[in-house]
Protein backbone atom coordinates (compact mmCIF):
# COMPACT_ATOMS: atom_id res chain seq x y z
CA UNK A 1 0.00 0.00 0.00
CA UNK A 2 2.89 2.35 0.74
CA UNK A 3 4.43 1.57 -2.65
CA UNK A 4 1.27 2.74 -4.44
CA UNK A 5 2.13 6.19 -3.06
CA UNK A 6 5.83 5.89 -4.01
CA UNK A 7 6.79 5.45 -0.38
CA UNK A 8 9.36 2.70 -0.01
CA UNK A 9 9.90 1.10 3.36
CA UNK A 10 11.78 -2.12 4.07
CA UNK A 11 9.68 -5.13 5.04
CA UNK A 12 11.44 -5.37 8.42
CA UNK A 13 10.82 -1.68 9.17
CA UNK A 14 7.18 -2.10 8.15
CA UNK A 15 6.82 -4.97 10.63
CA UNK A 16 8.35 -2.76 13.34
CA UNK A 17 5.90 0.09 12.72
CA UNK A 18 2.87 -2.23 12.53
CA UNK A 19 3.89 -4.05 15.70
CA UNK A 20 4.45 -0.78 17.56
CA UNK A 21 1.01 0.36 16.39
CA UNK A 22 -0.48 -2.91 17.64
CA UNK A 23 1.07 -2.29 21.05
CA UNK A 24 -0.36 1.22 21.28
CA UNK A 25 -3.80 -0.13 20.35
CA UNK A 26 -3.69 -1.73 23.80
CA UNK A 27 -3.16 1.52 25.69
CA UNK A 28 -4.84 4.22 23.57
CA UNK A 29 -8.65 4.67 23.43
CA UNK A 30 -10.23 2.38 20.86
CA UNK A 31 -8.52 -0.12 18.59
CA UNK A 32 -7.92 2.80 16.22
CA UNK A 33 -5.37 4.10 18.73
CA UNK A 34 -2.85 1.85 17.00
CA UNK A 35 -3.49 3.73 13.76
CA UNK A 36 -2.71 7.00 15.55
CA UNK A 37 0.66 5.63 16.62
CA UNK A 38 1.44 4.39 13.12
CA UNK A 39 0.34 7.74 11.69
CA UNK A 40 2.83 9.51 13.96
CA UNK A 41 5.73 7.43 12.66
CA UNK A 42 4.61 7.60 9.03
CA UNK A 43 4.48 11.42 9.24
CA UNK A 44 8.01 11.40 10.67
CA UNK A 45 9.32 9.13 7.93
CA UNK A 46 7.53 10.85 5.04
CA UNK A 47 7.63 14.47 6.11
CA UNK A 48 7.17 15.75 2.53
CA UNK A 49 4.33 13.31 1.74
CA UNK A 50 2.26 13.42 4.91
CA UNK A 51 -1.17 13.13 3.33
CA UNK A 52 -0.09 10.24 1.12
CA UNK A 53 1.42 8.45 4.11
CA UNK A 54 -1.60 9.04 6.34
CA UNK A 55 -3.94 7.86 3.60
CA UNK A 56 -2.31 4.41 3.67
CA UNK A 57 -3.12 4.10 7.39
CA UNK A 58 -6.75 5.10 6.81
CA UNK A 59 -7.16 2.82 3.81
CA UNK A 60 -5.59 -0.09 5.67
CA UNK A 61 -8.17 0.25 8.44
CA UNK A 62 -11.07 0.66 5.99
CA UNK A 63 -10.01 -2.37 3.92
CA UNK A 64 -9.74 -4.43 7.11
CA UNK A 65 -13.29 -3.54 8.17
CA UNK A 66 -14.52 -4.00 4.60
CA UNK A 67 -13.09 -7.52 4.55
CA UNK A 68 -14.93 -8.34 7.79
CA UNK A 69 -18.18 -7.01 6.34
CA UNK A 70 -17.69 -9.07 3.18
CA UNK A 71 -17.50 -12.19 5.31
CA UNK A 72 -20.68 -11.13 7.09
CA UNK A 73 -22.44 -10.65 3.75
CA UNK A 74 -21.17 -14.04 2.54
CA UNK A 75 -22.65 -15.67 5.62
CA UNK A 76 -25.96 -13.87 5.09
CA UNK A 77 -26.17 -14.97 1.44
CA UNK A 78 -25.42 -18.55 2.41
CA UNK A 79 -28.15 -18.49 5.04
CA UNK A 80 -30.67 -17.04 2.57
CA UNK A 81 -29.89 -19.71 -0.02
CA UNK A 82 -29.79 -22.62 2.40
CA UNK A 83 -32.73 -21.82 4.68
CA UNK A 84 -36.36 -21.07 3.97
CA UNK A 85 -36.68 -18.77 6.96
CA UNK A 86 -34.01 -16.88 8.88
CA UNK A 87 -34.13 -16.39 12.62
CA UNK A 88 -34.67 -12.84 13.80
CA UNK A 89 -31.11 -12.34 15.19
CA UNK A 90 -29.49 -13.64 11.98
CA UNK A 91 -31.67 -11.37 9.88
CA UNK A 92 -30.94 -8.31 12.05
CA UNK A 93 -27.17 -8.89 12.06
CA UNK A 94 -27.20 -9.68 8.36
CA UNK A 95 -29.02 -6.46 7.53
CA UNK A 96 -26.63 -4.46 9.76
CA UNK A 97 -23.65 -5.95 7.90
CA UNK A 98 -25.34 -5.27 4.57
CA UNK A 99 -25.99 -1.60 5.37
CA UNK A 100 -22.41 -1.02 6.52
CA UNK A 101 -21.10 -2.90 3.48
CA UNK A 102 -23.21 -0.83 1.07
CA UNK A 103 -22.16 2.44 2.74
CA UNK A 104 -18.47 1.56 2.48
CA UNK A 105 -18.89 0.40 -1.13
CA UNK A 106 -20.55 3.69 -2.08
CA UNK A 107 -17.65 5.59 -0.49
CA UNK A 108 -15.12 3.61 -2.53
CA UNK A 109 -17.09 4.14 -5.74
CA UNK A 110 -17.47 7.87 -5.08
CA UNK A 111 -13.70 8.27 -4.70
CA UNK A 112 -12.89 5.96 -7.61
CA UNK A 113 -14.92 7.66 -10.37
CA UNK A 114 -13.73 11.03 -11.58
CA UNK A 115 -17.05 13.03 -11.53
CA UNK A 116 -17.94 12.13 -7.93
CA UNK A 117 -14.31 12.40 -6.84
CA UNK A 118 -14.08 15.89 -8.30
CA UNK A 119 -17.26 16.94 -6.49
CA UNK A 120 -15.86 15.58 -3.20
CA UNK A 121 -12.57 17.41 -3.66
CA UNK A 122 -14.40 20.71 -4.11
CA UNK A 123 -15.47 20.46 -0.47
CA UNK A 124 -11.81 20.52 0.65
CA UNK A 125 -9.63 23.59 1.21
CA UNK A 126 -7.76 24.52 -1.96
CA UNK A 127 -4.28 23.95 -0.51
CA UNK A 128 -5.07 20.26 0.12
CA UNK A 129 -7.02 19.59 -3.07
CA UNK A 130 -4.09 18.91 -5.40
CA UNK A 131 -2.29 16.68 -2.91
CA UNK A 132 -5.39 14.62 -2.17
CA UNK A 133 -6.15 14.28 -5.89
CA UNK A 134 -2.60 13.03 -6.50
CA UNK A 135 -2.95 10.55 -3.63
CA UNK A 136 -6.27 9.17 -4.92
CA UNK A 137 -4.85 8.94 -8.43
CA UNK A 138 -1.98 6.87 -7.06
CA UNK A 139 -4.47 4.32 -5.76
CA UNK A 140 -6.49 4.31 -8.99
CA UNK A 141 -3.53 3.38 -11.18
CA UNK A 142 -2.50 0.63 -8.77
CA UNK A 143 -5.85 -1.15 -8.62
CA UNK A 144 -4.17 -4.57 -8.82
CA UNK A 145 -2.03 -3.80 -5.77
CA UNK A 146 -5.11 -2.71 -3.83
CA UNK A 147 -6.82 -5.97 -4.79
CA UNK A 148 -3.84 -7.86 -3.33
CA UNK A 149 -4.11 -5.77 -0.13
CA UNK A 150 -7.82 -6.57 0.12
CA UNK A 151 -7.18 -10.29 -0.43
CA UNK A 152 -4.62 -10.30 2.37
CA UNK A 153 -7.09 -8.49 4.64
CA UNK A 154 -9.75 -11.05 3.75
CA UNK A 155 -7.45 -13.95 4.67
CA UNK A 156 -6.50 -12.23 7.93
CA UNK A 157 -10.18 -11.70 8.76
CA UNK A 158 -10.95 -15.38 8.15
CA UNK A 159 -8.16 -16.26 10.58
CA UNK A 160 -9.66 -13.87 13.15
CA UNK A 161 -13.06 -15.56 12.78
CA UNK A 162 -11.46 -18.96 13.24
CA UNK A 163 -9.64 -17.69 16.32
CA UNK A 164 -13.01 -16.61 17.75
CA UNK A 165 -14.33 -20.13 17.19
CA UNK A 166 -11.32 -21.59 19.01
CA UNK A 167 -11.86 -19.13 21.87
CA UNK A 168 -15.44 -20.41 21.99
CA UNK A 169 -14.15 -23.96 22.36
CA UNK A 170 -11.91 -22.84 25.23
CA UNK A 171 -14.99 -21.27 26.84
CA UNK A 172 -16.79 -24.59 26.27
CA UNK A 173 -19.18 -22.99 23.82
CA UNK A 174 -20.07 -24.27 20.37
CA UNK A 175 -19.76 -21.25 18.07
CA UNK A 176 -20.70 -21.85 14.43
CA UNK A 177 -18.90 -20.08 11.62
CA UNK A 178 -22.23 -18.48 10.59
CA UNK A 179 -22.60 -16.90 14.03
CA UNK A 180 -18.96 -15.78 14.05
CA UNK A 181 -19.19 -14.25 10.57
CA UNK A 182 -22.37 -12.32 11.39
CA UNK A 183 -21.48 -11.10 14.88
CA UNK A 184 -17.69 -10.51 14.81
CA UNK A 185 -17.71 -7.63 12.27
CA UNK A 186 -20.11 -5.68 14.50
CA UNK A 187 -18.06 -6.48 17.62
CA UNK A 188 -14.84 -5.22 16.04
CA UNK A 189 -16.46 -2.09 14.67
CA UNK A 190 -17.77 -1.29 18.15
CA UNK A 191 -14.28 -1.92 19.58
CA UNK A 192 -12.80 0.79 17.37
CA UNK A 193 -14.82 3.49 19.15
CA UNK A 194 -12.43 5.74 21.14
CA UNK A 195 -14.09 5.15 24.50
CA UNK A 196 -11.68 2.96 26.46
CA UNK A 197 -8.03 1.89 25.97
CA UNK A 198 -7.95 -0.85 23.34
CA UNK A 199 -11.74 -0.97 23.39
CA UNK A 200 -11.56 -2.90 26.68
CA UNK A 201 -15.04 -3.48 28.05
CA UNK A 202 -16.71 -2.22 24.87
CA UNK A 203 -15.91 -5.33 22.86
CA UNK A 204 -16.86 -7.61 25.75
CA UNK A 205 -20.19 -5.84 26.32
CA UNK A 206 -21.14 -5.85 22.64
CA UNK A 207 -20.07 -9.50 22.22
CA UNK A 208 -22.12 -10.47 25.27
CA UNK A 209 -25.24 -8.69 23.98
CA UNK A 210 -24.98 -9.90 20.39
CA UNK A 211 -24.07 -13.53 21.05
CA UNK A 212 -26.86 -13.67 23.64
CA UNK A 213 -29.31 -13.21 20.76
CA UNK A 214 -28.22 -16.67 19.59
CA UNK A 215 -28.59 -18.14 23.08
CA UNK A 216 -24.84 -17.98 23.72
CA UNK A 217 -24.21 -16.63 27.22
CA UNK A 218 -20.40 -16.67 27.07
CA UNK A 219 -19.91 -13.88 24.52
CA UNK A 220 -17.97 -11.68 26.95
CA UNK A 221 -15.78 -14.64 27.97
CA UNK A 222 -15.02 -15.48 24.34
CA UNK A 223 -14.04 -11.87 23.66
CA UNK A 224 -11.89 -11.77 26.79
CA UNK A 225 -10.02 -14.95 25.80
CA UNK A 226 -9.48 -13.48 22.33
CA UNK A 227 -8.20 -10.24 23.89
CA UNK A 228 -5.70 -12.11 26.12
CA UNK A 229 -4.24 -13.81 23.07
CA UNK A 230 -3.96 -10.43 21.34
CA UNK A 231 -2.24 -9.01 24.40
CA UNK A 232 0.42 -11.73 24.29
CA UNK A 233 1.05 -11.10 20.59
CA UNK A 234 1.12 -7.30 20.82
CA UNK A 235 3.29 -6.80 23.91
CA UNK A 236 6.56 -7.27 21.96
CA UNK A 237 5.63 -4.08 20.09
CA UNK A 238 6.28 -2.19 23.32
CA UNK A 239 9.84 -3.55 23.38
CA UNK A 240 10.33 -2.49 19.76
CA UNK A 241 9.07 0.99 20.67
CA UNK A 242 11.63 1.27 23.48
CA UNK A 243 14.50 0.01 21.32
CA UNK A 244 13.57 1.97 18.20
CA UNK A 245 15.77 4.92 17.24
CA UNK A 246 14.40 7.61 14.91
CA UNK A 247 15.73 7.24 11.39
CA UNK A 248 14.42 7.80 7.88
CA UNK A 249 14.07 4.59 5.90
CA UNK A 250 12.06 5.85 2.96
CA UNK A 251 14.02 5.69 -0.27
CA UNK A 252 11.65 7.96 -2.13
CA UNK A 253 8.60 10.14 -1.70
CA UNK A 254 6.04 11.85 -3.83
CA UNK A 255 7.45 14.89 -5.55
The pLDDT of residue 180 is above 80: yes
Task: Check pLDDT > 90 for residue 225.
Answer: yes
Report percent pLDDT > 70 for the chain.
86
> What pLDDT shows up at residue 151?
93
Give pLDDT, residue 152: 92
- What's the helix, strand, coil split of the chain in %, to 5? 75, 0, 25
Q: Which residue(s) pair with 152 in the sheet?
A: none
Task: Give 255's pLDDT tier (boundaries 50, 70, 90).
Answer: very low
In DSSP terms, which residues pair with 197 in a beta bridge? 29, 30
pLDDT band at 86 (very low <50, low <70, confident <90, very high): low
Q: In 46-176, which ranges are continuous DSSP H helix?
A: 50-82, 88-112, 114-121, 126-140, 143-170
**Cα–Cα dist 96/90, whole Å:** 10
**Whole-angstrom distance, CA of residue 255 vs CA of residue 48:** 8
155 pLDDT band (50/70/90 cuts)?
very high
| pLDDT one-digit tens code per residue, 88-137 | 776 777 788 788 888 888 888 887 787 887 787 777 777 777 778 888 88
Q: In 25-49, which residue ranges form alpha helices assigned H by DSSP? A: 33-45
Tens digits of per-residue pLDDT, 20-70?
Answer: 888 888 777 655 667 777 888 787 777 677 788 888 888 888 888 888 888
- pLDDT, residue 247, reads 47
- Decide if pLDDT at 17 tops 80: yes
- The whole-chain average pLDDT of the chain stands at 80
Domain ranges of the chain: 3-243
Whether 254 shows a pLDDT value over 50: the answer reads no
Average pLDDT over residues 218-245: 87
Instruction: Report the sign of the C-alpha dihedral through residues 194, 195, 197, 201, in that order.
Output: negative
- Percentage of the chain exceeding pLDDT 90: 9
251: pLDDT strictly greater than 60: no
Please tell me the predicted confidence (pLDDT) of residue 25.
81
pTM: 0.74
pLDDT at 27: 75
The pLDDT value recorded for residue 148 is: 92
Q: What is the distance between the alpha carbons of residues 177 and 155, in angstroms, rounded to a whole number? A: 15
Identify the pLDDT of residue 249: 47
- pLDDT digits 0-9 by tens, 197-220: 666 778 888 888 888 888 888 989
Amino acid sequence: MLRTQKLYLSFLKTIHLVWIGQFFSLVLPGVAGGELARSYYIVQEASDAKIAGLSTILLDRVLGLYALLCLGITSLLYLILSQNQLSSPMLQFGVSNLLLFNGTSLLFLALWFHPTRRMSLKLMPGRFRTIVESTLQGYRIHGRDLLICFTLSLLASIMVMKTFQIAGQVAQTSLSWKQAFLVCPLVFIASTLPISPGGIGIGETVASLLFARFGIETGATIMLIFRVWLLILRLPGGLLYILRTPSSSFEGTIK
